Structure 1
Amino acid sequence: MLVTYLRMSTALPAAHLLVFAREPELGRVKTRLAAGIGAEAALAVYRELLALTAAAVTAAQVPATVWLAEAPAGADPTQPRPEWPGLPWRVQPAAGSLGERMAQAFGQAFAAGASRVVIIGTDCPGLSAELLQQAFDQLLSHELVIGPADDGGYYLLGMNKLETELFANKDWSTATVLPDTLADAARLGLRVAQLPTLHDVDSAQDLARWRHPARGQ
């Protein structure tokens, strides 16, 4: 059963942002990073990434819904989460691949009346309000907008109608996600706008590169 603070039967504005996130709980976030720096340090980094993402979302002034990977223990479903002040939240389906969960979130936003929908995660410290606004602007003249990550994935995906094939047959969390998604878009004849390539933080090496970018050059 989905926990909801936002009544999805209520019509959404034309532009809507989806944020896939996790509750900041010790041992349950950034497991790859934790393998290199320890669980407590990884949790601190994740909290920092959440704060950066939330600030970008707030500054973009776009209606948004947070989709949490799991239901927070004891949370009041009518109240926003502390990390996401003012934002409604839902819980991702328990089963299915990442692609299936993203497709469901897109589908529900479109069904509720949105006509331009963008999804982001919380791994990209370079995400800004300006990039979010640019993504929605690009959807006025393109069917798809994508923010490439330099690890071969993407930090942002947006579309103006649900394209389920973009979420199928992907080896998620690998370097093939971006090229496979772009290949699908080309086969479907979609006009694609690409945002600047940014850096995700998933591992200790990624963290070092973020903290000391000059050393990673």
Structure 2
Amino acid sequence: MTGGAPLRVLVVAKAPVAGRVKTRLGADVGDDVAAEVAAACLLDTLEAASAAVGAEHCHLSLAGDLTGAVRGEEILAATRGWRTTAQVGDGFDERLAHAHAAVAASGPGPVVQVGMDTPQVTAGLLLDAAAPLATHDAVLGPADDGGWWVLALRDPAAASVLAGVEMSTPTTYDDTRAALEGAGLSVGGTRVLRDVDTVDDAEAVLGEIAPGSRFAGAWRGLVAP
């Protein structure tokens, strides 16, 4: 990476509270089950981040309160040693920009940012996403629904261009890439991953995730007999 500064991982997430997370999934399996699945997804993601760079280089940008959230105490334990900040902004685009700005304010170094919708992410995938920063200013990993699952930046302050980009649309990947390139950043790519938003998504991801993952355990235990 640039200048020998450490790589950071930023996880942007919601506290897994029933009715507030994975509402599309909840419409099919119930809000309580969806919140359990969301908690498992988040815990798998936190584990991958810590394994990739160490807890001291991990950041969590959290919407909501873990008090009363599903597996809240476990999530707190998993983020011990992390820097946790509350999400700020009206829309998700603004919250993403502010989350990256908080990482930038903590010191120099590149960042890899993910959400909580890809429990199949591993430490290796996070490091692979950062690797093209050797020759690019940014790396954007597409999701198969038209969005993106990972954004790596040499300078997290560059995420200010995300403000104004509409998120959660079929063109979010293209729009985000255009915003980055419009700011003069060179953008590399990495592999496609599938977000877990629906039952079909969950079943597909189940086929590619480690059987011992929290997501696999939650899905098989709560949904798949």
- Please tell me the TM-score bracket, short chain as reference: 0.7 to 0.9
- The correspondence for 2:146, drawn from 141, 152, 161, is 152
CA-CA distance at 1:212 after TM superposition: 5.3
- Aligned equivalents of 1:119 and 1:164: distance in 2? 10
The TM-score with structure 1 as length reference comes to 0.80
- The correspondence for 2:121, drawn from 98, 119, 127, is 127
1:148-187 superposed matches below 5 A: 148-161=142-155, 162-164=157-159, 166-187=161-182
Structure 1 residue ranges, 4+ long, deviating more than 4 angstroms after superposition: none
- Aligned equivalents of 2:68 and 2:138: distance in 1? 38
RMSD: 2.3
Give SS of 1:53's match. Answer: helix
- The correspondence for 2:205, drawn from 202, 210, 213, is 210
Question: Contact between 2:48 and 2:123, CA under 8 Å: does it hold in 1?
Answer: yes
Give SS of 1:200's match. Answer: coil
1:17-36 superposed matches below 5 A: 17-36=9-28
**1:197 is aligned with what amino acid?**
V
Taking only the aligned residue pairs, the percentage that are identical comes to 34
Q: Which runs of 5+ in 1 are unaligned?
A: 1-12
Please say if 1:138 is aligned against 2:143: no
**2:179 is aligned with what amino acid?**
D
Question: Contact between 1:14 and 1:113, CA under 8 Å: does it hold in 2?
Answer: no
More helix by share: 2
- Aligned equivalents of 1:109 and 1:212: distance in 2? 34
- Tell me the residue number matched to 1:89: 84
**2:53 is aligned with what amino acid?**
Q
Q: Which runs of 5+ in 2 are unaligned?
A: 70-74, 209-225
- Tell me the residue number matched to 2:212: none
- Aligned equivalents of 2:40 and 2:149: distance in 1? 17
Question: Contact between 1:100 and 1:167, CA under 8 Å: does it hold in 2?
Answer: yes
Count of residues paired in the alignment = 196
